Amino acid sequence: MSLVSEGTDFRGPLAASALAEPSLATVGDYVALMKPRVMSLVVFTALVGLAVAPGSLHPITAFTALLCIAVGAGAAGALNMWYDADVDAMMTRTSRRPVPMGRVRPGEALAFGLTLAGFAVVTLGLLVNWFAAALLAFTIFFYVVIYTVWLKRSTPQNIVIGGAAGAFPPMIGWAAVTGSLSLEPVLLFLIIFFWTPPHFWALALYRADDYARAGIPMLPVVSGDRSTRRQILLYTALLVPLGLAPWLFGYTGALYGATAIAAGAIMLGLGCQVLRERLPAERASRNLFAFSVLYLFLLFAVLLVERGWGGLIVRLAS
Amino acid sequence: MGRADRPFGIVSIGAVMSDQRDDDGIVLTEAQKRARRSRSIAIALALAALVILFYVMTLVKGPGVLIRPI
């Protein structure tokens, strides 16, 4: 870190003060850079991909794979916070992040993110397999370059396309075991991919002022409230059958099917409530945002219990 | 590493010629020292964990751990 502590000015006015004072960044600030809440969802979905994959993987190798995926996700988060420090400073939700608060300098965040990304990808390649490592590298690249640098500030479809980055972890987990991909991990990818728009647009509906102030062209800012609510319902209607697909294709049992039907019905119901809601009311949007997290967790948790848990126990015992 | 801790040999010529700066350099506050110490400990622990991880994985996979099909 010594090079960046000397105040290397990588971008923007936020770095201008970097020469002034030695760093006060704590370990906690660096942990915050890795977006631990996002990381926990990434680790969970990767664990499911890893657990449902056919074949065996030594528990320590599985742990190593999850560790590398977690660190890779953290690296992507740090690089996102480095690039987005200017817009983060303008948004209530993100203004207390370490870089806009001045606790971590932009150059330090950049160096931290690049170092973590390098270690995560190389370690995954050396200790697990290079196909999974290549997927992890592509995921970090996609999140940082395609989503953060390119799409986020240029199109209202930013989180639709960029959502792919968050959907890759189960595929990486699967690839860590098998060294390849098949239809099942692609279905898991599609579930998260189509889950992302209603999840983030529900948030954006009641944070539209924040995004507008920061100049981020989120759908409610560009296309308006009504259009966003219609798009939320459309993507929810696409998500629900996709959530059922693992059961329809025979990959899961009745418990998953029942969960996907019940949770999908609630998602659709909340999507309809969001469509009917009128500003300034935001209760339906908040409810959909909160339930969408539970929806994804439920589907993957049941998948883990039905398909993965038994397999994991066998692997641990063997 | 803060500027106050640089070895003398890499201090800039301007700094060497400035006797005021030579005497004092940049003095870290207690908060800055604590933050630097916590970062140093975290880096040390992370490196130790990496060494242990590679060691254990070598035991798990055998000596051919670094020979992987691409």
User: Which pLDDT belongs to residue B69?
Assistant: 58
Comparing CB atoms, the residue among A22, A30, A64 nearest residue B32 is A22
Percent of chain A with pLDDT over 70: 90
If you write DSSP's letter for every residue of A152-182 in order, what string do you get? TTT-TTHHHHHHHHHHSHHHHHHHHHHSS--
Nearest CA to CA, how far is B55 from chain A (Å)? Answer: 11
Average pLDDT value for residue range B18-44: 81
Average pLDDT of the residues in A5-9: 39
Please list every residue in chain A whose beta carbon sits closer than 8 Å to the beta carbon of residue B57.
Answer: 60-61, 64, 127
A263 pLDDT band, cuts 50/70/90, is very high
Say how many CB pairs under 8 Å bridge A and B: 63
User: How many angstroms separate the CA of residue A145 from the nearest CA in chain B?
Assistant: 25
d(CA A301, CA A197): 21
Q: What is the DSSP letter of A279?
A: T
Query: Is residue A283 predicted with pLDDT exceeding 50?
Result: yes
Judged against a pLDDT cut of 50, whether residue A9 lies above it is answered with no
Chain A residue with the nearest C-alpha to that of B27:
A22
| Per-residue pLDDT, B11 | 44
Give contacts of B11 with chain A, Cβ < 8 Å.
none
Q: Residue A95: which pLDDT band, with cuts at 50, 70 and 90?
A: very high
Query: Where do runs of H (alpha helix) occur along A128-253?
Result: 130-141, 158-167, 169-178, 183-206, 208-214, 219-222, 225-248
Question: Is B28 in Cβ contact with A22 (below 8 Å)?
Answer: yes
Q: Indicate if the pLDDT at residue B8 is higher than 50.
A: no
| Maximum alpha-carbon separation in chain A | 62
Instruction: Report pLDDT digits (tens) over A101-132.
Output: 999 999 999 999 999 999 999 999 999 999 99
The pLDDT score that the predictor gives to residue A172 is 98
pLDDT digits (tens, 9 = 90+) for A214-235: 999 999 999 999 999 999 999 9
Q: For residues A17 and A273, which has the higher predicted lDDT (pLDDT)? A: A273
Statement: residue B56 has pLDDT above 70: yes
Among B28, B39, B43, the residue with its CB nearest the CB of A25 is B39
Which one of B59, B65, B70 would you mutate to disrupt binding with A, by most A Cβ within 10 Å of its Cβ? B70
From chain A, pick out residues whose CB is under 8 angstroms from the CB of B52.
none
Residue A60 touches chain B, beta carbons under 8 Å? yes
Looking at every residue in chain A, the average pLDDT score rounds to 90
Mean pLDDT of all residues in A162-173? 96
pLDDT of residue B23: 59
- Over the stretch A20-52, which tens digit does the pLDDT of each residue have? 577 889 999 999 999 999 999 999 999 999 999
Alpha-carbon distance of A296 to A291, in angstroms, equals 9
Cα-trace Rg, chain A: 20
Q: Which residue of B has its CA nearest to A133?
A: B70
Contact in structure between A1 and A111 (CB atoms under 8 Å):
yes
Choose from B53, B55, B58, B67 for mutation: most chain A CBs within 10 A: B53
